[in-house]
Structure 1
């Protein structure tokens, strides 16, 4: 399980760093122009904090995998991570419209890759928690 947590942690760090390209890739300068200043800034700032939290989860999984597996506090943290990422897996299918990816090769591939990653992550966290 130690290796699985390190793999997950590495992916979390990569995912967090990918957030850097969101504003340009999703054309936020034009797309968010119609929003109020408050909503524009909330979108950007919340994205930064989501990336930071995902990055810190990654560091935790890489640097403290044994503690997460073997200690009571680690198991509680793993429970929280299991709930969080399982919820994220459900949102992948019920929070986003399939219109965003159906019939689009790249978007469908990304949808599939992330669905499988959330599933893998959830399974590992739940397995650790219940073992």
Structure 2
């Protein structure tokens, strides 16, 4: 099971750094121009802290896989992470309109890939808790 945490840790770390490209890729300078200053800055700040949380989660998985798998505290942390990623998986389907990806090859591929990733995270974390 610990090897799964190494894989997860690596992927979460990469995902955290991917967030740095969001403003440019999603053209936030133009898209957010009509927003008030507080709303614009909130988007940037929240994205930064989401990326930080994802990075720290990845580093936790990379550095403390044995503790996550074999200690009571680690298993409770896995329960929390499992719930978090399960909710993220649900939001993938109820929080985003299918219009954003349906009928678009790249967007559909990304939607499916991330859905599978959220499912993988959910299964691994919850399996550790219930072992």
After TM superposition, give the deviation of residue 35 of structure 1 in Å. 0.5
After TM superposition, give the deviation of residue 53 of structure 1 in Å. 0.3
Q: Secondary structure at the match of 1:33?
A: coil
Structure 2: gaps spanning 5 or more residues:
none
Alignment of 1:57-96 (within 5 A): 57-96=57-96
In structure 1, the residue matched to 2:48 is 48
Q: Could you tell me the TM-score, scaled by structure 2's length? A: 0.99
Structure 1: gaps spanning 5 or more residues:
none
After TM superposition, give the deviation of residue 45 of structure 1 in Å. 0.5
After TM superposition, give the deviation of residue 79 of structure 1 in Å. 0.5
In structure 2, the residue matched to 1:25 is 25
**Matched length:** 131
Query: Equivalents in 2 of 1:98, 1:9: separation in Å?
Result: 29
* CA RMSD between the two structures: 0.4
Structure 1 residue runs of 4+, over 2 Å off? none
